[in-house]
Structure 1
Amino acid sequence: MKEVESALQENEEKYRLLADNVSDVLWVRDENLDPIYYSPSIEQLRGFTPEDVMRQSMEEIFVPDSREKALAAFKRQMMQEEKSRGTQARTVSLEVELYRKDGSTIWAEMNTRVMRTNEGAVTGIIGVTRDITRRKLAEQALKESEERYRVLFNSGSDAVFVFAIDNEGLPGKHYAVNDVACRMLDMSRDELMEMTLFDFMAQHDGARIKETLQTILNKKHVTFERSFVDSGGNEIPVEVNANLVELYDASIVIAFARDLTERKQAEEEQKKIQTKLIQANKMNSLGIMASGLAHEINNPNNTIMFNLRRFARTWDDIFPILEEYYDEHGDFNIGGVPYTELSRIFPRLISGTLESSEMIKAIIENLKGFIRHSADTMDFDVDINDVVRRAVSLLESQVRKGVGRLELDLADDLPRVRGNPQKLIQVVVNLVANALEALTDDDQRVVVTSTLLSAGSRIALTVTDQGRGMTEKEVNDSTQPFFTTKLESGGTGLGLTITRMLLDEHGASMDVDSTPEEGTTVTVTLKVKGIESVH
């Protein structure tokens, strides 16, 4: 027991030694607000010794307004803490004016906390009092000059914020804000005066405030761009010119904030115009390249087409002779392939190769037509299901080598549409090829569906995949020239742009619905033969 008492006495002496040697005033009062302890630093603050203060009444310590404020705050604090037993005691801060021994007054900041027993009962209040007279003088000086500069302060076009930087390098509450600041943030002056920069700085800029204020302290002046957030949660880009002034030993920042919204919008619009100019230049270059490309590819392709037609006529002439030989001698090989098999596949090989050659020609013409309007006729009666099957046949290699599977669900007895079959084949090839490239595993599929809509005047052709999908922005950009999500794999960003152009020539519409990681559905709506428009 004696050892415990000795330890307690030793701890008490340590804490008293600490309290007796700090510059701030430490004090303790009981639950009736009667004084128990004042640290020696009270003499430096007020000129009275601790013994003098222990005998003083509240009227002798506080000026009248501060006395009423302090007493009300102490009683309210103890009452609230009594009701909230079991929770951690809160610190309350208030500013008060105190009498000094020489009859003058000083301003002090009091931070108080309620003391409790182990059972949670309130036993009194412990407080720390700090001299803030210099700061209050600075505030008062600013307030006194406010009237003289109010008109100037509120007549500019920039928002103005005046605040101090505390000892930790953080912004304090505002001493002053102008009318422009209130309009910019859609807040009243009273609201802003209770705030710091942290309270309306955009979250992504908030972490940089302390660093910025340190720069202001070092350089006295700094210009930077940040974003404020108004009362409605809208971000406002601003350019801030901040200047540091020293007033009564306090570091005061006067910050002028200019709304950059219109400038940013103008810059964004300028970027769009610049992008369009670059795009126009690309389109011009594309026209030149398309012309050269057509010349370089069409010549050998025309030779291929000519020879394929000659092969077809040759086969028609030689087929009866080969049949007669087969009837007399039985099956035989031609080029290592049995005649019975060759007679079945050779015509299809020729027609398929010829169709691919015609597709090459159509692609080149469509690329040229992307720059200048194509004069190709649009007066064919087209079977849309036949278009789908022919397009899919051209993609057999891609389907075979790729992941996932391709399924067709084509409605029977669809009416014809008027248009150009080669262009519609290219539309389907582009859409199905994109859908196949979007698949990521073998369990996924692409489904092509044709349907006669209820009104009977339109046919809906849908291409649905279960692939990676697109964001809303990617969907909006997907038909813009040169936009691609497959740049690494050689995408040109022209597929859907040309597809849209070809559909426009047919008076058709195209809608894209996509969800990331779930897939994409492209719906093409074509007018039935004899119907003027789908729009």
Structure 2
Amino acid sequence: MPTHRFRRILSLQSTFLAVIPFLLVVFLNVFLLLPHITQDVAAGQRELARAFGVALDNYLSAALTDVRAVAALPLSRPGSLGGLQEILDAEVEASGSLNLLYAVLPDGRIRAAGIPKEHRHTLQDHRTMERTSLAHEQLFRDTRREGKPVWSNTFPSAFGKGVSIAVGVPSGDLVVIGEVDLAKLIGSMRDIVGGAGQDIILIDGNGQVIADQGGIAPAAPRFMGDIPLVRSGLASGQPVSGEFRLQGRALVGTMMRSSHIGWYVLVAQPVQSAYRSVVITTRNVAAGAVAALLLALSASLFLARRLSRRLEELAGFARRVATGHKSPPWPPGEIAEVEQLAGDLLSMADEIRYREQQLVEGERLLRSVTDHAFHYQGLLTPDGTLVDANRTALALVGATKEAVIGLPYWDTPWWRHAPELREQLRASIATGCQGIPARFETTHLDHQGELRHVDFSLSPIRDEAGAVIYLVAEGRDITDFARAKSELKESEERFYQVFLQNDDPVILMKLETLQVIDANPAALALYGLRREELQSLSMETLIDAPDLRKLRAELAQHDTSQGFLQRAASYKTGGEKIVISLRGTKIRLKDEELLLCSIRDISEKLRLEQEIRATQAKLIQTNKMTSLGMLVSSVAHEINNPNHCISINNTVLTQITRDALARLRASREAEGEFELGGFTYDEVLDMVPKLHDGIRDGSQQIDKIVRDMKNFSKPAELDMQGTIDVNRSVENSAAILWHHIQRHTDKYRMELWQNLPTVQGSQQQIDQVVINLVMNALQSLPDKNSGVVVTTWHDRERETVNLSVEDEGDGMSEEVLARLTEPFFTMRINKGGTGLGLYISSSIVKEHGGSLAFESEPGRGTKATVTLPALAGSANEPAGTGEQGDHRR
């Protein structure tokens, strides 16, 4: 226990007596004056909130009256839309509280609308009103259902600022909806507040701010429902007062509910201004109390000085007696208690010398016993002071006896490292003083900083009267045992926590019988099981037996500790079938071989994959039909009709030419050799049939192109087991896009690898990929002098068939290149682009196990490269080939 000088004690007591009046005044201010002021502030705020609530109700009632006046008119009878429009416009202009007024047909369409002058019936205005109106919202449906006026929740205003509110009134088959102009309501808030220093905030039933006197709330109003005062007001519906914090300010406020529409009015005032009178009163009283305190302190110091001088002389005499020095006779004084104390000190000194001799003898005996013990030992006084420690204990912490003797045992090096152990030791010493032994496991830090585990005990020693005079502390080192026990416990706990907290369902079963031993919560939730059902549950009731046999066979066949089933059928407790993937791991616990199965439900994944494939097939067909739609008009007009004419005319000309040559043969025999068109008769006789055959073959080739386009437009069946000739896809695309190639460039070139290996998949889909890439390349050319090169080759090292389409177009930036295969991303939206071509092409290539890559720079063209896996054994190349550029045509 700390000691204090006598002079200080007297000063503190005098100060305490002076502080009592000050505390009394503070108590009166806080518990008597402050509640009255708080009631006055709350009463004034309630009056202000009630006044604004009346103004709010009058304002909304006026708006409802205006809307009812319009609804009372025969709105379905006006002969034209303009007549109804004039009625609504006139009412909006005449109303003092409406911002927007419109009539809604039974199907939810707006028939006519009254809009302020600044927004006068433009197409953009009506689109804005259609998008933001309540015609398709809950207000319209509630009004139609209830057949009476209905108020809406707050919503972003169509033409005003911030939030607004609307009221719907039925009018025959129509519904008249009026949007209230809350901006005018703000003016009334400013008028009511005036210069009173109060803030008014209007809050709806959801706790969101509608408006305050500073202005209407923005389109995304701030939320105040998390403030305790606001939350209490919303819950009770009665006036609520109290303090709260808003935007870093401490406020005192009162919240009341409006009777007309159910909004709430919050009147708030800074705490400092509300309680200014209490602060001033307390400050004045405190100044007087401080002055009284200073006077009392001065008087106490003067008296304490006189009394402390005699006590200081007594303290010096006591120190000389305690050291054993011969002290001068004690000078007599006037205080009897001081004189008696001096005599007692002399008697005490004699008694101390005698007891010191006895302690020396006891200490010698105790030291001889403790120093030869193998365990850690120490001797404590009942208050916990260490009076001795054996050599083993001192060697543990590397301390000397002089450094630790006389310290509280909990402050010695054995206990300093852990505050919780120190508290446990102090509690054990307290019970030991009552004669109750204590034992617990603890830790000590040795002199090398290593943590040692100790079995610690504390035993009391009693004197002849049974009183506890000492406590014997003893510790036994159990570090190795504790470490092994802790590691085993941590290992078991880690395994069990991993088992329980795994997100995937995990089931532990016997390997031979498949009897379920345990299951984590995810497995119980997946199969709808209770933990009590696991004891009688076999895995064969959850997973098909053939699949389990496959897993066990895989574990046995490969002699491994793991087996995996990519797909297996499984059943929930209600009989619902699911598809799972299962991984089994053999483990050994307590000399028993178990199977740990990790399960993943892939039913939803498989369903989504099927939906994705079906969606991609639809997108592919849609893109194909879009491409054909762009070509059909020109192909039908520019190819079919002229080609029929060419075919028919060539047949007639062939017959005419055959007859003419027969007659010319007679002329040649009669007249000799002659020329026709610069050619001799023999040359004409040999050349003309070939020319007619060429015209016939060209016409047939045109028919083939048209047939190819018809086949291309047919829906693909996604036959991925066919073989693909990439060179044929390039040639087909050139034939189909012949018209577009002639229109966009004079430099279209194909460099095709001879004996190119085939690819497994759909020929029709690869045709579509090539058409999309070539069409994009053609559309990117700035003029017909820029070219497009289509190249195919075989990469024998990677066993891939490669195709590239390189153009001399405008090129693309890195940002556009990164988004090139995103669905619906296009740079030609104004030219009919859909943004699906490259996305579908990329999907087709990935479906065939390949890749689609692009290289481009602005102003330097673009190169698209398709890489597809070659079909094994399909290459037919001569020996020594394989580098890009060999065997092209």
Fold equivalence (TM over 0.5): no
Q: Which TM-score band (shorter chain)? A: 0.3 to 0.5
By relative contact order (CA 8 Å, sep 6+), the higher-ranking structure is 1
> Under a length normalisation based on structure 1, what TM-score does the superposition of the two structures give?
0.37
Point out the structure with max Rg over C-alpha.
2
